[in-house]
Chain A
């Protein structure tokens, strides 16, 4: 529990700033009360943040993920070994000039279980309005998938 309080306090202090830890692990529960958690670094380099227990995100908080290519090392991932309790925003950030193609999928979140969901995806439409992100939650993780924006595929 001590770890929980330490990390939670730290995140509270980052209410208007990014909380970026690249390629590191956090022990215990992590609660994002209203700040921005970014597994990558603030300059836009993708990274992996592993939470050893549960991750909770409140309605005013944001998870920011960097996507700079199709390879695993080019995508930020929040890896939650316990339960991901989701709310608030997801902010996918395209970096290094990368523009994904329709059909590409990027796993940005791993978890043992999940409750809730992000209520908002920031910058959901991109590439001059041609594409948009769809977030698909599966039993062990969530992936951002690129679909055409505004095209009616149905007959």
Chain B
């Protein structure tokens, strides 16, 4: 049974960056800021998803502009871990 995690990347109204939204995330929502916030959010979702992820990117008007599909792969040399 392969679980598919769905992520949404949406620009914030305060223009701080983007919100990454998914039930797979610990708090369901995370903020990523900076000029590469959208790419960072996609990379983070790829990294965080355990097996198969669909990442949908929306513009400020709420329109779907990109869909990325990612499958699990060896993560460099270690699995994700947290220091908390």
Interface set of A (CB-CB < 8 Å, partner B): 70-72, 74-75, 101-107, 116-121, 134-141, 143, 145, 147-148, 153-155
Contact = CB atoms under 8 A, between A and B. Distances in A.
Interface string B26-58: 110111111000001011101100000001000
Given A117-B33, A147-B40, A153-B42, A103 B80 contact: yes
Given A145-B44, A154-B42, A70 B32 contact: no
5 contacts: A105-B80, A105-B81, A116-B16, A147-B44, A155-B68
Contact of B27 (A139, A153, A155): A139
Interface of B: 16-17, 20, 26-27, 29-34, 40, 42-44, 46-47, 55, 68-71, 73, 75-84
A135 B33 contact: yes
Interface of A is mostly: strand
Contact of B34 (A71, A101, A102, A121): A121
A72 B70 contact: no
A33 to B, nearest CB: 21
